[in-house]
Structure 1
Amino acid sequence: MNELSQADEQAALDSPSPLRFEFRGDGMEYFKIWMVNILLTILTLGVYSAWATVRNNRYFYSNLYLDDDNFRYLAEPMQILKGRLIAIAALVAFTVTSQIAPMIGLGLMVLLLIAIPYFVNQSLAFKNRMSAYKNIQFRFKGSYGEAIMVLYVWPIIGMLTLGILYPLALLRLNQYIVRNSSYGTTPFTFEATFGDYGKIFLTMIGAGIVLAIPTWVVMVFVPSLALVVPVFVAAVYFGLIVFFMVKTTNLFYGSLALAGHGFDANLQIGGLAKVILINTFLTIITLGLYLPAAKVRMAKYICSCMLMHATGALDSFVAAEKENVSALGDEFGEAFDVAV
């Protein structure tokens, strides 16, 4: 009897338990930060923008909770500023050179295209390393070759196949981001398939065709309603965009796992559309002043739809991961401490 009780307890510990993500930010609180950031950025001719970025990110990270612990953003403003100064210097050099010597400018454009995959890898590595949960940082180890494939090769293949392989291009991009990311030393996995993304694209195409037919009929046979058509088309496009956002987001997080711990997202088309429409309307009538509250509203909605299915106690997994990270040490040098 005692053995059965112990077995039941172990089974309960091993069974997935849902942990809900929660965003605890406040629109008015963030509005104050946002306003100060804008004013200081203007007064310093843009120099303060690096500090503004850090303040914004720290606010959203620190108000994002999982299992009653919040995330942390670790970057310092000078790291962001260095990266931006490098980018501005490169842009100025490219612009001036293109005006003086167009052929050299063309060569620099080719070099930029070659360098973009490297910059993307560096940017993702920096972003992950500057993100932490329970004092453990995230990591990213994507290769230059993988970046070339997902940024150039797969999108071109999708275009050459008239969009048939665009779902595969999106799948490869998400695989590249997720499978090269880790929480400490534990890698994430991504189990979505080409078929999963293909269904989303086929549904969108089918819905577009079905809705295009009555639109054409109205335009040809009922000219008096022609003025209504643009409104209807805009509504259809909006609906398809929201559908795509909801389905791809739910698929992305539903296919994500971390050492047996699963994730889930249950965004609803109506719910997301409502948030977008309210945010857009209030931002317009307030001449942009509602934008901070709009960001908070969106963050609250998305987090309310997301879960982590923890297998066993999450604290036990984190404690073991801390030991692994301590044993591994910090293999990243100072070169990775600049935002690119």
Structure 2
Amino acid sequence: MAFSGDGKEYFGIWLNNIFLSIVTAGIYSAWAKVRNKQYFLGHTKILGDGFGYHATGMQILKGRLVVLGCLAGFTFLQDFLLMDEELILYLPVLMILFFFVLYPWAMNKSLAFSARMTSWRTVRFKWHGTFGRTFVYYTLAPYLVLLSFGLAGPWVARKTAEYFVENHSLGTRRLSLSKMSLGRISLTYFLCIMLPFAVLFASLVLLLGGVVLAAVSTAENGQFLNWSTEGEELRNLILSGLVEAILILFIVVIFLSWKLFRLWLLREMLRSLQLPDVARFTSFLDMGKGGWIIVSNLVLFVLSLGVATPWLMVRYQKYLVETTGVVTSRELAVFVSAQQSEQSAIGEGFTDFESLDFGVGL
């Protein structure tokens, strides 16, 4: 696979998207989303052909208006129920309706729309998931992870990945994901969980060591732990600043650990991904280099105050794509030709009401 995008070229698109989104009070962001997807998908190429993205800004906008309408209705009903002591008893029912019915319904519609609007060699992808299974994997599964204090995380990660991949098809041929090792997922998952706490522990040890050294230093002057009130405010300020810095570092490391786990899971998925009898994928992604790109991108984003975002996005996408390999069979040309013929015969019907796109993925 190859990625032909360029940071300088994308910077113009990115800057124009931001400017027009601000000027139009966010309305243009729907068209900005389409331009971004078309750029990155179009420059992601398999055997020299990029992916297509066929949604329009108006379709995305209509989908967002549906979501905003649902949220506005939910807020109105919530405020109405809170006005009456008897009606307030129905508030939990409203919450359940929203989170356990509307949310998975919209999520499933989003996955279907995103797949349908994406193509390769004019052959469209399709989503075969159902409301019930989307409800299980995208609504119930996260609660299972929380209730198990994270222990169910590896199993949920594997099952969600399998559900996401195996319910996508290119034309009529479904993608498949060979069994990923739950043991390997569990090991990587818990290592990523332990990393932030290891950093927190090391930081607290260093802080405590500094306090002890300061105490020993005063003891040499016969004032062990008897610091004068002079400079007490400065000492407290420094100590509180160090504690806040450690907490910020802890949060940053949690974010980086999650990104690293997702990157590792993506690599394992690519190594197991197949389009049966047509193509199989592999990944040569190196976690050391991938981790360096994630960390350095975060640092450069902060130092540039976000201006470097286009180059950072292109850099990350380029590495992901160009470390992915595809082995195709002799059946590829026949498969694509057959799918194109069938697609032309069926037509492309898709209602605007279904145009919900939350950018759902893994």
Shared fold, TM over 0.5: yes
In structure 2, do the counterparts of structure 1 residues 87 and 240 end up closer, same or farther at CA, with 3 Å as the change threshold?
Answer: closer
What whole-Å deviation, never above 9, does each CA across 1:51-98 have from its counterpart, x for those lacking one? 111111111111111100111100011111101112222222322333
Matched with 2:265 is 248
In structure 2, do the counterparts of structure 1 residues 90 and 159 end up closer, same or farther at CA, with 3 Å as the change threshold?
Answer: closer
In structure 2, do the counterparts of structure 1 residues 97 and 182 end up closer, same or farther at CA, with 3 Å as the change threshold?
Answer: same
- The answer to whether the 8 A contact 2:106-2:356 is kept is no
- The answer to whether the 8 A contact 1:246-1:268 is kept is no
Q: Following TM superposition, by how much is the alpha carbon of 1:262 offset from its aligned partner in structure 2, in angstroms?
A: 1.4
Matched with 1:286 is 304
Matched with 2:95 is 109
Percent of pairs with identical residues: 30
What whole-Å deviation, never above 9, does each CA across 1:75-132 have from its counterpart, x for those lacking one? 0111111011122222223223333432366543322111111111110000000000
In structure 2, do the counterparts of structure 1 residues 142 and 287 end up closer, same or farther at CA, with 3 Å as the change threshold?
Answer: same
Count of residues paired in the alignment: 319
Amino acid at match of 2:183: G
Unaligned stretches of 5+ residues in structure 2: 83-87, 215-238, 358-362
In structure 2, do the counterparts of structure 1 residues 80 and 309 end up closer, same or farther at CA, with 3 Å as the change threshold?
Answer: same
- The answer to whether the 8 A contact 2:63-2:353 is kept is no
Distance 2:282 2:68 in 1: 40
Q: How does 1:1-340 map onto structure 2 within 5 Å?
A: 21-102=1-82, 103=88, 106-113=92-99, 114-191=101-178, 192-204=180-192, 218=206, 223=211, 224=213, 230=246, 237=254, 240-241=257-258, 243-260=260-277, 261-312=279-330, 314-326=332-344, 329-330=346-347, 333-334=350-351, 337-340=354-357
In structure 2, do the counterparts of structure 1 residues 246 and 55 end up closer, same or farther at CA, with 3 Å as the change threshold?
Answer: closer
Amino acid at match of 1:54: V
- The answer to whether the 8 A contact 1:167-1:201 is kept is yes
Distance 2:194 2:317 in 1: 31
Unaligned stretches of 5+ residues in structure 1: 1-20
Q: Calculate the TM-score normalised by the size of structure 2.
A: 0.77
What whole-Å deviation, never above 9, does each CA across 1:258-281 have from its counterpart, x for those lacking one? 113211123222212332333333
Q: Which shifted more, 273-282 or 145-154?
A: 273-282
What whole-Å deviation, never above 9, does each CA across 1:161-181 have from its counterpart, x for those lacking one? 332221111111111111111
Amino acid at match of 1:142: G
Amino acid at match of 1:70: G
Q: Which shifted more, 131-140 or 283-292?
A: 283-292
In structure 2, do the counterparts of structure 1 residues 99 and 179 end up closer, same or farther at CA, with 3 Å as the change threshold?
Answer: same
Distance 1:209 1:34 in 2: 36
Amino acid at match of 2:40: F
In structure 2, do the counterparts of structure 1 residues 48 and 238 end up closer, same or farther at CA, with 3 Å as the change threshold?
Answer: closer
Matched with 1:7 is none
